[in-house]
Every structure is written in C-alpha cells, then in structure tokens.
Amino acid sequence: MAAMQTSYDVVILGGAFSGASAAILLRREAPSLKVLIVEKAEAFDAKVGEATTEMSAMFITRRLAMWHHLEAEHLPKEGLRYWFSNPKVTGHTNATEAGGFLRSSVPSFQLRPDTLDEYLLATAVREGAELLRPAKIREAELRGFDNRLTIEVDGATREINCRWVIDATGRVNFLGRKLEIIDRNDEHPIASMWCRWRDVRNIDDLAARDGALATRNIGSRRLSTNHYMGWGYWIWVIPLGNGETSIGVVFDKRLVELHQSRNRAEDFIAFLKAIPSLAELLEGATPRLDDFRFYSHLPYVTRQYMGNGWALIGDAAAFLDPYYSPGLDHAAFSVEATVDIIKRDAAGEKLDERIAEHNVTFLRSYHRFFNAAYRDKYYYMGEADLLSASFILDTAHYYIFVVMPAYRFMKKFFWMPVLGPKPAFVSYHLMSFYNRRFKEIAINRRAAGESGMRNDARRYKAYFNLNVAPFHMVARGLKLWALAELDNVRLAVKRVFRKKRADPMLIAKNQP
Ligand SMILES: Cc1cc2nc3c(=O)[nH]c(=O)nc-3n(C[C@H](O)[C@H](O)[C@H](O)COP(=O)(O)OP(=O)(O)OC[C@H]3O[C@@H](n4cnc5c(N)ncnc54)[C@H](O)[C@@H]3O)c2cc1C
C-alpha cells in the first residue's frame, strides 16, 4: 500500500453530494491539484433529498455528465403537484388539484440519495481524488492558506496540511460550528418526519379506474412530487427507483404540534391516513419503521461561506426548507462557485474581491429567498387558490430568471444562487409582497370560518417548459391573486357588518 501523503491542495470533509461533486470538478478541471476526501460513513444511509429541481438536474446531467447513472438507477420527475382537502373531499377525485398538465419538457429526477452519493464518491476516486473512509475530521486549525487538520482513521489520528479545506459535512456543520458562524433560523420554526413505504398504490392506475380523474391530466401524476397540503403543513410523496415511496411531513411548529408527540411514528402514520386522498394511496401499504426519522428544527445559515483557505458548501453552509426542493440546487451552486474560486487560486489570481462577492451573494440569496418564498408560508398552505397562485408565480420566476437563462441563453449550468444577483431585488420585493398578502388573506378566511372553501373540485393547471408557458403562468398566478384580493374585500365587508373587531390573527389561531 502506498504511504499516505500528509500534504494536499484541497481536503474535503464529507464525501456525499456536495463533497464528492466538488472533488470530481476539481480533479477534472484542475488535475494538478491533489484532492483528499474524508468521509465518516462506511456506507451512506438512505437519508432524504430525493427530488431534484431543473437546476440541480442540470448540474448532475450536464456538469457532472451523469445522465447514464440517472437513467439507470433513478426515475424521471414530472414537476410539482398539490392536493388539497376540506370536509367535502373523500379522495383524489373530488380534491382540488394543482400541478403540471402535460409532461415536463425540462429534465428533473426523483433520486435515491444514497445510491447517487455512492456513485458520485466512486467517480471522484476514479478520477483521481484520494479517499479516507471511514474517517472523521477531529480538529482543524485554520491558518490562512496553510491549514492543519487532525483526522481519525482506524482508531489512530493523522495530521494533514492543506491549502484549502472545504466543509461538506452537511448538518454536522463541522467548520461552521468551530468558527461559531452558524445561526439557527428561529423565524422559520419548521420540523420534519418521514420514512419510506412499500406497496403504495399507483395514483395513475387509481385515476385510470375513475374516468373523470384520468381526463383531468395528461402526464404521469405518480412521477410528480405529490404534495398533500393543509394549515401549517405539507406532505411529500415521492416515488423511488427501487419501487419504494418516500413520504414525509414538514410542519410549522407554531401551527401543528406533531413534534410534541410521544409516539412519533404512530402519530405520523395517523396524521397521513387522516387525509382522505392520501389514505387512498396508503391502503395496503407498509411504512418502513426502521427508516423513520424526525428533525426537530430544519433551518440554519452561516454568517460567512468562505475565508482564506476555507469554504462551506451545501448543507454545511445553510439549509432553509425542503419545500420546492432547493437543497441540491444550493449544493450545486455553492460547489460550482467554490470550485471556480479554487481554480482561480491555483492559477495565481488574487482572491480578496471574489471571496467578498461570494459571501455577499450567497448570504443575500439565503435571506431574500427566505423572505420571498418561505416566511410564514405555512399559514396559507391549506388554501388551494392562494398556495396555487404562489406556486405558479414562484415557479414562473424560477423559470424566467434561472432555468431559461441557463438552458436557452448561457446554454450551461451557472453558479448564481436564486435571488442572489443584486438586480433580483425586483423579484424579491414582488414575491415578498404577494407572500405577505396570501398569509393575511388566509388568516382573514380562517377568522371568518371560511378556510379551505376552494379545496374541493377545482383544477389549477401548470405547464413546465422553456417557451411561453412561464409567461402564461405569470398571468394565471396574477389572476388567482386578484380574485383572492377581491374575495378578501368581501370578507372585510362581512366583518364590518358582523361588527367583529377582534384581531383576525387571534381568532385564526384559536380555530381547531
Ligand atoms: C426533510 C428533508 C427533505 C429534503 N428533501 C430534499 C429534496 O427533495 N430535494 C433536495 O434537493 N434536497 C432535499 N433536502 C436537502 C438535501 O438532503 C441536502 O441538501 C443534501 O443532502 C445536502 O448534501 P450535502 O452533501 O451538502 O450534505 P450531506 O448529504 O448531509 O452529507 C454530509 C456528509 O458528511 C459526512 N460527515 C459528517 N460529519 C463528518 C465528519 N466529522 N468527518 C467526515 N465526514 C463527515 C456525512 O457522513 C455525510 O456523508 C431535504 C432535506 C430535508 C431535511
């Protein structure tokens, strides 16, 4: 066995999606760099993170050149789909549905993350990265571009020097915690529980037995990320390439109290089965309780992404909310931007301005994205028209300003994170505005005892393509918003006549 080196250009802590893809790009594009990956897990577990977006799919297919792997081991994804309920809803047939009508024309995928991560890591090693596994980073002394790391492997410790250390340890946040730069996002108190299920019924076959439901859609519904929505929560249903189905709930702890449960797995299953349309899919299905997981608080963010000789990528830097599946997008953007800066360093470029811009852009993206798309969104997740308007408008923004420029104009994956560029302030303010309005309207409806009135028997269609569809979606979303505002005026008049002066927020909170 060759003696282990003690000096590297780049050491990457964590060899899953972010760490392995950074290693692959560095080895391919700067082959003179010596790269070491330190991965704690002997084998990756199933974890979560199954749905790509259009951009994370572009990163895996076009940047990492892994179409073959995605096609062999994973499933294509057919956009986002939402199901709503109210007391009239008895199943999918009479539930309000929002989502793609035709197949999506932009590729995205439903992944098994452990399979993908193993493949990425094996590729990184094949392309010349060294790997210590299982091995754990114990200590890091950051000294400008001359870092010293202590790594535990086979019960012994090794000292390693490197110019760059990249933290890709995910929620462990190894470097961020050491530097004390990770902040919990307490303004967004969301939690999640999930597990994989076997023998979940195929929604397209259910639809085929019910003519009316089948004719409401052309593409595959099962291959969408199906969401089941309600006041304070959303549930994902994602089909996997091995025949299992990933099902999980994300909820706002101010509105749903599942986190207080003493029998979490049991209460989680009961919670899912209480939704009639979802219960249709779960008839005869078995949850894999060995896979049941609970995260009590999801979001956090670093105060700095990069310094001289160190960088945080993927979940090691930040996590916001799995709604819209932005996790791998953020991982891909931060990997791409970090690799670019390290390559420039290797070419002898001065980095001060680039590192400063990198930090500003990624932090601006996190905070804008939170305010524009996520802050208090869980207050209107149970209102079909409001949630559909926001989904349609948010998706149109994503297509027009991120996906279309990458595919149609730049014709390549580009590192800019969502809402990161300065000029994106227009989208940022517009999105934040309608997000605030939808919350307020939902609270007014709840206070008036009119929650979820549009949650049965409606169909809000979306289209995912790179032509005019995103612009039609803008018009469609604005129309839904305008109608909701008009209806809100009716509620205000009703309140005046009822002479109810009570704070609608308080009344809404006290509703069951
Ligand atoms: C409920 C939920 C649902 C999600 N759904 C989606 C989704 O549908 N789509 C999506 O894009 N994203 C989703 N995500 C986010 C997605 O899972 C993450 O963004 C993604 O896994 C991040 O990859 P990563 O490589 O940065 O971190 P991780 O996958 O967490 O990898 C970190 C690696 O570091 C290793 N490590 C940790 N500590 C050490 C140490 N001390 N020494 C050495 N190695 C170490 C670990 O073993 C691990 O392999 C979801 C997240 C949650 C919580």
β-pair type (182-184, 310-312) = unpaired
Domain that holds residue 339: 7-51+113-184+299-369
Ligand 1 pocket at CB < 6 A: 13-19, 38-41, 44, 48-51, 56, 136-137, 168-172, 174, 192, 248, 295, 298, 314-316, 322, 325, 327-328, 331
| Pocket-testing residue among 53, 315, 319, 334, ligand 1, by greatest number of atoms within 8 A of Cβ | 315
Q: Are residues 169 and 311 in the same domain?
A: yes
Number of helical (H) and strand (E) elements in the chain, helices listed first:
16, 22
Mean pLDDT of 176-205: 98
Residue whose CA is at the smallest distance from ligand 1 atom 29: 16
CB 91 within 8 A of CB 83: no
Q: Measure the CA–CA gap between 479 and 138, rounded to whole angstroms.
A: 55
Of 240, 210, 198, 237, the closest CA to residue 80 belongs to 237
328, 333, 335, 338: residue to mutate for ligand 1 pocket, most atoms within 8 A of CB: 328
Inform me whether the pLDDT recorded for 173 exceeds 90: yes
Arithmetic mean of pLDDT, 388-414: 96
Residue 151: pLDDT over 70: yes
* Residue 69, SS3 per DSSP: helix
Indicate if 255 and 201 belong to the same structural domain. Answer: yes
User: Domain check: are 283 and 204 in the same one?
Assistant: yes
Q: What is the mean pLDDT of the chain?
A: 95
Q: What percent of the chain has pLDDT over 90?
A: 93
Which residue bears the tokens 């870092």? 147
Q: Return the residue whose CA atom lies nearest to atom 38 of ligand 1.
A: 169
419 phi-psi bin (left φ>0, alpha ψ -120 to 50, beta other): left
* CA nearest to 256, candidates 335, 337, 191, 169: 191
- At residue 2, does pLDDT exceed 50? no
Separation between Cα atoms, residue 104 and residue 291, nearest integer Å = 31
Same domain, 363 and 503: no
DSSP state of 3: P
Residue with CA at minimum distance from ligand 1 atom 7: 49
Pairing status of strand 97-100 against strand 459-462 = parallel
Residue 511 has what pLDDT? 58
Q: Which pLDDT tens digit goes with each residue over 437-484?
A: 999 999 999 999 999 999 999 999 999 999 999 999 999 999 999 999
φ/ψ of 50, rounded to 5, equals -95, -25
Domain boundary among 229, 263, 295: 295
Domain count for the chain, please give it. Answer: 3
Residue 509 has pLDDT above 50, yes or no: yes
Alpha carbon of 172 to ligand 1 centroid (Å): 9
Q: Which of 40, 54, 139, 335 to mutate to test the pocket of ligand 1 (most atoms within 8 A of CB)?
A: 40
Q: Are residues 166 and 194 in the same domain?
A: no
Q: Is residue 273 assigned to a domain?
A: yes
Which CATH number covers residue 27? 3.50.50.60
- Rounded to the nearest angstrom, the distance between the alpha carbon of 222 and the centre of ligand 1 is 25
Residue 45 pLDDT exceeds 60: yes
Q: Please say whether the beta carbons of 305 and 363 come within 8 A.
A: yes
pLDDT bracket for residue 376 (50, 70, 90) = very high
Q: What is the pLDDT of residue 210?
A: 87
Q: Which of 295, 327, 342 is the last residue of a domain?
A: 295
Q: Which two tokens stand for residue 502?
A: 């009570």
d(CA 487, CA 494): 11
| Per-residue pLDDT, 500 | 53
What are the φ/ψ torsions at residue 7 (nearest 5 degrees)?
Answer: -135, 130
